[in-house]
Structure 1
Amino acid sequence: MHNKADTLILFGATGDLSQRMLLPSLCALDADGLLSDELHIVGTARSELSDSEFRNFAREAVEKHLPAHRRGGMADFLNRLTYSQLDVTTPEGYADLAGKVGKDRQVAIFLSTAPSLFQPTVKGMADHGLADANSRICLEKPLGVDLESSCAINDAVAAAFSEERIFRIDHYLGKETVQNLIALRFANILFEPLWNAQHIDHVQITVAETVGLESRVDFYDDTGALRDMVQNHMLQLLALVAMEPPSSFDAGSVRDEKVKVLRALRAVETNESVTGQYRGGASDGVIVPGYDEELGSDSNTETFVALKTHIDNWRWQGVPFYLRTGKRLPERVTEIVVQFACVPHSIFPGARLMPNKLVIGIQPEENISLSLMAKVPGIEHEGMTLREVPLDIAMPDAFTGKHKRIAYERLLLDLINGDQTLFVRRDEVEAQWKWVDNIRANWEADGKAPKPYSAGSWGPSSAIALAERDGVSWHE
């Protein structure tokens, strides 16, 4: 655990992420009294701005992206902000930045720039005393496009920062329901005895988007769904579902257990993966173009992936994990579905017993639902008529008076406080890339091309077959 930072440096402070997430999150934390009075926030980017102009920029971003009731005394937040112009590829601006920060400060650095700029940025900070033992750094994804490039990025950062001072962000880990998954498993005796291959039939993880390329044309075509979603967000969710109980809720214990899961992932065979690319269709009631039309050229980049994998350890042996993600799907939803095994023997003649199912909704709504079999009220029928009924916990209803936070609020606060528990360690990243690289290598070896699917559908029909040949239906 590090000391609390008294200076936060935001690289890329005028960029899209800063406007939508970082500045609004920091303002909300300030309004809730969660930032110390001593915290000084320095924004830096290539734009030529004065302190006053940067504060006006921040005010406009906060007013656009943060509800009015969460802003509090925004003037107090804006007064924390100063600005230092900097081209990270040239050494000239780092001295000015170091002067803005001052001497003997506890510094947290948020690096929201292209990965190609990580190495010169880290070198510039190291050369000007901003990467000493009193500083820590947070890296925004993507951290490479494969294992080799990821290692190169990590090596560049490790040249100036030790591992305990590197915070690799995955914003999904800042979501309340993702953290609630940890509480659900390890704070309730009800689930943990059943959380194994003897009682669980299969697990599904879905991350579905209704949007297309939007403003990410060049990035997405070089990346694809497997690298963009599976390698980071989905594998982190899988690791939290499948990990063994950590000895305590601290960074080392939690991440030790996650990396064991990632290393135990079985390699995906070619017939256990489906790739797709959307064509024109209807999305949210609007006619939308296909991927190649949006891109303006032909492409073999996948916009949809469905995978079946296993975890080769005692707890999960024989339990399939189905992963599915894509763009231009019928609804925006991120959820984890844990389907339990059927009862071994039914005492209800003629009744169709459905297995219990735990659904953990992450977005757009945060909720937990457990389906149970129950008797239908009435005496009209002989015997007992049964029906599946849900027990729903809507998080906003369960915790009235608590407002919904931006995921970055928790992660920025943890960065400032020096808590790495919800950040990703290097060995996790590299285990994820090793598994994903194997899938891509198999696709290339087999000449596997994405199958077309209509915008507004749930992907290629072969994705449905991937699950149904095992007697499993995707949860929709």
Structure 2
Amino acid sequence: MVSRVIPVDPFDLVIFGGTGDLARRKILPGLFRRFCAGQMGAESRIIGAARTDLNTQSYRDFAKDAVREFEPGGAKNAKHLKGFLELLDYVVVDAKGTQGWSDLTKAVRDDVIRAYYFSVGPSLFDDLAERLHKHKLDCPGCRIVVEKPFGHDLASAQELNQIIAKYFDEHQIYRIDHYLGKETVQNLMAIRFGNMLFEPLWNSQYIDHIQLTVAEEVGVGGRGEYYDRSGAMRDMLQNHLMQLLCLIAMEPPAKFNPDAVRDEKLKVIRALDEVAPDDVVRGQYEAAHDQAGFREQVGNPDSTTESFVAMRAHISNWRWAGTPFYLRTGKRLRERASEIAVVFKDAPHSIFDVEAGVHRNILTIKLQPNEGIELGVTIKEPGPGGMRLVDVPLDMTFAEALGPEEADFPDAYERLIMDVIRGNQTLFMRGDEVEAAWAWTDPIIAGWQERGEAPLPYASGSSGPDDALMLMHRDGRRWREIKA
């Protein structure tokens, strides 16, 4: 099987914060991979814009080092790397001042697609948008890409949306969440809506419960100051897990187009019930061996910020009434693994002498580190020992099923940036969607603060606090073991 790479039209992509960590680690290496794949041609240009005092050549050197460090094939592909670097330009720009804006005006072209990537903190969104407008750089066909966090709560998210909306229409705004660029996340829609096998069973009549897990081995690292202000709820659950929940639970859109898909996702968020206090567990990892604990890493000995959160959620609609969704995410857990597990109910009547719930069909969508889909089915164990049942996986690990070349998927940022250039907003959050997610999340956080609840300690390298296990055990269920 040979995948088709469809080239995009020529474009100018301006990366504000072009010398920052995100540009170095993700954006520039990702664009290089798209260049190597033939998806962007020599007519396109990438313009770094930042306060750092560089010129075009020194910025190309910066990009070359980034590609060699974060793209394994970059150093070996000298011909492609030389061609890619020739696409790069650089302008010194002061987001809060006047320096460089006239130079940027001269650098961009009027006859190609134009996109502005705000790879900066939200505090600069207003300044950048205002200056783009002032210098007549906000053309009707222009697109802007804004990075998370999209606010800290509902009020700040509304303020950010209002700031950007002063200068850009909603169809021009691309709120990027890299989780939605993962191949398997997009495959959720293909699995559900492209296979008659699953969609008739995708409801509370046949599904017992659904588990969403995003587990990380690492701690907060160098993000301590930020993480102490946000925590796992704001940093991961409110956006990444919320998006996975929406894709799992949404109704079939009338058409596969951006607004139809996002309309159905919004309906899911608005149908979420309030979460009771005893349906949420917060945790904070402790020091272990030579690794510092959360409080040491964030530099706050009295921190009550969570590095782990687990909850049971319910969606009040006809499809999902009575089916719980269990969500958990955390740092310093046993393994780095992200998956969605759809656990089907037992057969109405078993002719075999087995305990209920022992043998169940489970559809597992693995997001990382090895993307793939696995369906657990029950068969007779081979041999003459009678009717002994055993569970086996129907496993489609992409690297095995499609071959190593086909399974070498574009990084999430690569895919999403190309979607920006194409003008496809399907995998980007709409403003009302962001606000609805915060409207559901804020009362949960406010409840913790009002009750003065501190997160429960858990050992680094564990599965999180014991109370998170009880969240499932009291329902007669259990979490799937975290494993890569």
Report the equivalent of 1:392.
Answer: 395
How far, CA to CA, are the matches of 1:148 and 1:24 in structure 2?
Answer: 35
Within the alignment, does 1:27 sit opposite 2:36 as a pair? no
Indicate conservation of the 8 Å contact 2:10/2:40, yes or no.
no
Secondary structure of the residue aligned to 1:38 is coil
Q: How does 1:177-216 map to 2 (within 5 A)?
A: 177-216=184-223
Match of 2:148 among 136, 141, 148: 141
**Greater CA deviation, 50-59 or 33-42?**
33-42
Report the equivalent of 1:328.
Answer: 332
Q: Deviation at 1:67?
A: 1.8
User: Which AA in structure 1 matches 2:26?
Assistant: M
Runs of 4 or more above 6 Å deviation:
none
How far, CA to CA, are the matches of 2:328 and 2:34 in structure 1?
Answer: 34
Query: What is the number of residues matched between the two proteins?
Result: 468
Match of 2:292 among 286, 289, 292: 289
Within the alignment, does 1:222 sit opposite 2:229 as a pair? yes
How far, CA to CA, are the matches of 2:227 and 2:187 in structure 1?
Answer: 30
Within the alignment, does 1:432 sit opposite 2:437 as a pair? yes
Q: String of CA shifts for 1:133-186, please: whole Å, max 9, x gaps.
A: 021101011111001001111111111100000000010010001011111111
Q: Deviation at 1:247?
A: 1.4
How far, CA to CA, are the matches of 2:475 and 2:308 in structure 1?
Answer: 21
The TM-score with structure 2 as length reference comes to: 0.94
Report the equivalent of 1:304.
Answer: 308
Q: How does 1:28-177 map to 2 (within 5 A)?
A: 28-68=33-73, 71=77, 73-177=80-184
Q: Deviation at 1:103?
A: 3.9
Q: Deviation at 1:105?
A: 4.3
Report the equivalent of 2:5.
Answer: none
How far, CA to CA, are the matches of 1:260 and 1:148 in structure 2?
Answer: 21
Match of 1:423 among 421, 428, 438: 428
Indicate conservation of the 8 Å contact 2:281/2:468, yes or no.
yes
Report the equivalent of 2:3.
Answer: none
Report the equivalent of 1:344.
Answer: 348
Q: String of CA shifts for 1:42-72, please: whole Å, max 9, x gaps.
A: 1111101110000010011001111217856
User: Which AA in structure 2 matches 1:223?
Assistant: S
Q: Deviation at 1:351?
A: 6.5
Identity level (%):
48
Q: Deviation at 1:5?
A: 5.8
- Tell me, which stretches of 5 or more residues in structure 2 are unaligned? 1-7
How far, CA to CA, are the matches of 2:110 and 2:395 in structure 1?
Answer: 53
Report the equivalent of 1:414.
Answer: 419
Q: String of CA shifts for 1:178-218, please: whole Å, max 9, x gaps.
A: 01111111111000000000000000101111111211011
**Pair 126,317 (structure 1): closer, same or farther in 2 beyond 3 Å:** same
The TM-score with structure 1 as length reference comes to: 0.96
Q: How does 1:231-242 map to 2 (within 5 A)?
A: 231-242=238-249
Indicate conservation of the 8 Å contact 1:88/1:117, yes or no.
yes
Secondary structure of the residue aligned to 1:60 is helix
Indicate conservation of the 8 Å contact 1:231/1:433, yes or no.
yes
How far, CA to CA, are the matches of 1:152 and 1:324 in structure 2?
Answer: 29
Q: String of CA shifts for 1:413-465, please: whole Å, max 9, x gaps.
A: 00111111111111110111111101111112222211111111111111110
Report the equivalent of 1:269.
Answer: 276
**Pair 385,26 (structure 1): closer, same or farther in 2 beyond 3 Å:** same
How far, CA to CA, are the matches of 1:198 and 1:297 in structure 2?
Answer: 48
**Pair 218,338 (structure 1): closer, same or farther in 2 beyond 3 Å:** same
Report the equivalent of 1:254.
Answer: 261
User: Which AA in structure 1 matches 2:318?
Assistant: W
User: Which AA in structure 2 matches 1:332?
Assistant: R
Indicate conservation of the 8 Å contact 2:10/2:43, yes or no.
no
Q: String of CA shifts for 1:256-314, please: whole Å, max 9, x gaps.
A: 111110111111111110111111125xxxx3121112223221111110011101100
Indicate conservation of the 8 Å contact 1:5/1:108, yes or no.
no
How far, CA to CA, are the matches of 1:41 and 1:387 in structure 2?
Answer: 55
Q: Deviation at 1:91?
A: 2.3
How far, CA to CA, are the matches of 2:146 and 2:298 in structure 1?
Answer: 28
Indicate conservation of the 8 Å contact 1:4/1:418, yes or no.
no
Indicate conservation of the 8 Å contact 1:105/1:134, yes or no.
no
Indicate conservation of the 8 Å contact 1:277/1:304, yes or no.
yes
User: Which AA in structure 2 matches 1:334?
Assistant: S
* RMSD of aligned alpha carbons: 1.4
Secondary structure of the residue aligned to 2:42 is coil
**Pair 93,350 (structure 1): closer, same or farther in 2 beyond 3 Å:** closer
